[in-house]
Amino acid sequence: MKFSYRARTKEGKVQKGMIEAFSKTGALSVLEKYGFYVTSLEEAKKLSFFQQEIFPQKVLLKDITVFTRQLSIMLKSAISPVEALRTQVSQAENQKFREKILKIAEMVETGSSLSQAFSTYPDIFDSFYVNCIRSGEASGKVADSLIYLAEHLESEYNLRSKIKGAMIYPIVVITASIAVFGLVMFYIVPRMTDVLKDLSGELPASTRAIIFLSDFTKGGGWILIVAFLGSLFLIPEYLKHSEKGKKFYERISLKLPMIGDFNKKVYLSRFSENLSVLIAAGLPITQALKITRKIIGNSIYEEIIRNAEERVARGETISSVLSRYPKEIPSFLVQMVSTGENTGKLEYTLKNVVDFYQGDIERFVNNIAKIIEPVMIIILGIMVGILVISIFVPLYQLSSGGMGI
């Protein structure tokens, strides 16, 4: 049975969510045990279609990162897993995530291992996460495995945040430009068209073009413009969800000028970091490659890793396999992997590779952020200049005594 609850933590923070239990008494007992002071507890009723959330709350990478870091610190401080999870239940701000942690804590308390409990929610804790913890359990170093995971997730989160941050400015400018374009085409130009057409002499080509574009937009052309802009977003999304389209999209994304090189570094950094963390956590090379293959996020690199996995199982080295793909795998990475294999310190050489590529990625993102601003200003300046020349120059000439006189 599911129960909807409303409670307060020891710090006085109000929390609400759902909990599964055999009875209301059982649900109350569990919540109190996890440090909640329950103020309301009712059996959850099945919601109708109109009562369901249109945009359900998601568990974000930030939530998982903070949870992993705090859990690793608590386990490293010799706090029991159950007690550490109980603390996380009361601290999690995301309602959906809090419910999952509560269930995980219950499972661990009743005898399940951490890896078994986490594997219950593969949409939140992927195979990489679960296998790292499973390896830590086998070696008796769960806290260390969680520290590896926390560092990995923080690195991934920081990279995504920088990329999103670099895109905020152009998105705002483009949105504002579209709004201004609509205002000019629908309201300003139509009101000035009659005045401009009454001018003696021939209108400038730019003015005629602006008038034509305004008439076209008002006459239904805006549908084509919206469809075109929408296709710029929808076509890549369609390609990503089509098997053949996905491979085409991913291959093209590696060949684009500048962007292709950036994407390669992102995938190579992800490959190196995942493999490094898994090897450091104690997983066999073939298993580490298998897990890395599933989460690399690109079918071209997935095929390369699959080949490496099969050949390494037959006794070959990773570097000898990677060297067969000079277009996708640079000689720098091959040499670093070879050095790690020869010295028996592959996880450390891979970590150095990660540091190198992430430094390059951060510099690229920072440079793009610096370049985008002046480029957008120039584009806006050109747009304003065209508008001034097309609309206001003829009006100025009219006020100065007419055109063609």
**Residues 6 or more apart whose Cβ sits within 8 Å of residue 24:** 3, 41, 43
32 vs 184 pLDDT, higher one: 184
Q: What is the pLDDT of residue 324?
A: 93
pLDDT band at 240 (very low <50, low <70, confident <90, very high): low
pLDDT in tens, 40-66: 777 666 544 444 444 456 888 888 999
- Identify the top-confidence range among 169-183, 241-255, 288-302, 339-353: 339-353
Instruction: Give start-end residues of each CATH 3.10.20 domain in the chain.
Output: 2-51
pLDDT tens per residue across span 138-187: 778 888 888 888 888 888 888 788 778 777 877 887 888 788 878 877 88
Which residue is it, tokens 């310190």? 345
Asked if the model's pLDDT at residue 354 lies above 80, the reply is: yes
What is the radius of gyration, based on Cα positions, of the chain?
Answer: 29
Nearest CA to 340 out of 285, 270, 264 is that of 285
Across 99-103, 175-179, 309-313, 350-354, least confident range: 175-179
* Rounded mean pLDDT, 298-318: 92
pLDDT of residue 405: 43
d(CA 321, CA 304): 8
Q: Could you tell me which of 291, 233, 296, 235 has the C-alpha nearest to residue 263?
A: 296
pLDDT of residue 130: 87
DSSP H stretches of helix in 242-387: 243-253, 259-280, 285-295, 299-313, 318-322, 331-343, 346-387
**Which CATH number, 3.40.50.720, 2.40.160.210, 1.10.10.370, 1.20.81.30, labels domain 259-359?**
1.20.81.30
CB atoms within 10 A of CB 245: 15
- Mean predicted confidence (pLDDT) in 21-40: 69
For the segment 346-355, the average pLDDT, to the nearest whole number, is 91
What CATH fold (topology level) applies to the domain 2-51? Ubiquitin-like (UB roll) (3.10.20)
- Within the chain, all domains assigned CATH 1.20.81.30 are found at 259-359
* Average pLDDT for 308-314: 93
259 pLDDT exceeds 80? yes
- CB-based contacts of 208: which residues, under 8 Å, 6+ apart? none
Contacts of residue 232, defined as CB under 8 A and 6 or more positions apart, other chains included, come to: none
At residue 119's C-alpha, the angle toward residues 117 and 121, to 5°, is 95
Comparison of pLDDT for 402 and 399, the residue scoring more: 399
Convert the pLDDT of each residue in 82-103 to its tens digit. Answer: 888 888 877 777 878 888 888 8
Share of the chain above pLDDT 90, in %: 16
Greatest alpha-carbon pair distance for the chain in Å reads 95
Q: Phi/psi at 271 (nearest 5 deg)?
A: -60, -50
Tell me the whole-structure pTM to 2 decimals: 0.67
Q: What percent of the chain has pLDDT over 70?
A: 83
Sign of the Cα torsion 354, 356, 360, 363 reads positive
Examine the pLDDT at 400 and tell me if it is beyond 70. no
Q: Give the per-residue pLDDT at 339.
A: 94
**281 three-class SS:** coil
- Please tell me the least confidently modeled range out of 87-96, 185-194, 252-261, 395-404: 395-404
**Does residue 222 carry a pLDDT above 80?**
no
For the residues of 37-62, what is the DSSP string, one character each?
EEEEEEEPPPPPGGGS-SS-----HH
